[in-house]
Chain A
Amino acid sequence: MASKTIKLKAKAENGEVTVKTLIKHPMETGRRKDKDTGELVPAHYIREVTCTHKGETVLSAEWGATISKNPFLSFSFTGGAPGEEIELSYTDNKGGTETATAKIS
């Protein structure tokens, strides 16, 4: 499943799978003012991120708006093998959601 906004990579090495993801998202805090209009840019940020492997949640995270724009996240887990799939999805404060899958290499 290709995703336009999530780049997802998983690599198995020494019995561990390292997951790296880069999500295209503005992560607006709601405190920044638009330079042209002088109006506050409404908050728009990812709140929940979940990564699953074989139907089991490997990581679930709750984020605030102080995670950087276009968030980068990396972590690793055991019990994964090349060729298997992982899935990562997020939900933002506006209800926007996106899911990506990647094969472990």
Chain B
Amino acid sequence: MSTDTKRRLFLRASLSAGALGMAAGTGLLAPGRVLAAWNEAAFKAESVGDALKGAFGSDAVTDSAEITMEMPDNPENGAAVPVEVTTTLAGVQSMALLVDKNPRALCGVFTPGKRMKPKVSIRIKVSETSDVIAVVKAGDKLYTSRKGVKVTIGGCA
């Protein structure tokens, strides 16, 4: 690692530590959440509606044909179901993946940077035969698409 990279790393680390410290100092962040902005309410929610309210502040979604989900209909093993979500919607702010019947509906929320293509491939756990739901936030609105998967061996989600 070059000195330059090191310096940048150090600078970044000290900057973020400073910002966190300030946020904690001014009481913007509750103690215990200082290190992580992880959205506990959304990830602990059991239903899709509650998870969406936790993640996006609303569960008002519109079906969209501009979201494509690629995944096997009959994955053998629910422990690792490959899912690929792509959208042609403009101005994507974030993309979320949920499984209707999992004990905790929300799998993940992906926030693309300016240069990222709105496409994500990942493997998720599916506990039983259920719908897998993709939600895309674009232009401050929520769009959704869903696809059913039939699981023979549950993924213990």
Please tell me the number of chain B residues within 8 Å of chain A, measured between CB atoms: 39
Partner of A75, one of B114, B120, B123: B120
Judge if B88 is at the interface, Cβ distance under 8 Å: no
Task: Report if A64-B80 is in contact (Cβ < 8 Å); known contacts: A59-B116, A91-B36.
Answer: no
The chain B residue sitting closest to A22, CB to CB, is: B123
Q: Is there contact, CB below 8 Å, between A75 and B121? A: yes
Q: Which chain B residues border A64 with CB–CB below 8 Å?
A: 43, 104, 106-108
The proximity string for B residues 116-143 relative to A, scoring 1 for CB distances below 8 Å and 0 otherwise, is: 1101111111000000000000000000
Q: Is there contact, CB below 8 Å, between B107 and A66? A: yes
Interface residues of A (CB under 8 A from B): 1, 16, 29, 31-32, 47-48, 53, 55-69, 71-80, 91, 95
Q: How far is the CB of B16 from chain A (nearest CB, A)?
A: 11
Judge if B102 is at the interface, Cβ distance under 8 Å: yes
Q: Is there contact, CB below 8 Å, between A59 and B113? A: yes
CB within 8 Å of A: which B32-72 residues:
35-39, 43
Q: Is there contact, CB below 8 Å, between A47 and B36? A: yes
Q: Which chain B residues border A72 with CB–CB below 8 Å?
A: 82, 121-123
Q: Which chain B residues border A74 with CB–CB below 8 Å?
A: 120-122
Partner of B39, one of A29, A62, A66: A62
Q: How far is the CA of A77 from the CA of B79 in the complex (A)?
A: 28
Q: Which chain B residues border A56 with CB–CB below 8 Å?
A: 113-115
Q: Which chain B residues border A58 with CB–CB below 8 Å?
A: 112-113, 115-116
Judge if B157 is at the interface, Cβ distance under 8 Å: yes
Q: Which chain A residues border B124 with CB–CB below 8 Å?
A: 66-68
Q: Is there contact, CB below 8 Å, between A16 and B117? A: yes
Task: Report if A62-B125 is in contact (Cβ < 8 Å); known contacts: A32-B156, A76-B117.
Answer: no
Partner of A71, one of B12, B43, B122: B122
Task: Report if A69-B79 is in contact (Cβ < 8 Å); known contacts: A56-B115, A62-B108, A77-B115.
Answer: yes
Partner of B108, one of A67, A76, A80: A67
The chain B residue sitting closest to A99, CB to CB, is: B9
Judge if B151 is at the interface, Cβ distance under 8 Å: no
Q: How far is the CA of A95 from the CA of B12 in the complex (A)?
A: 19
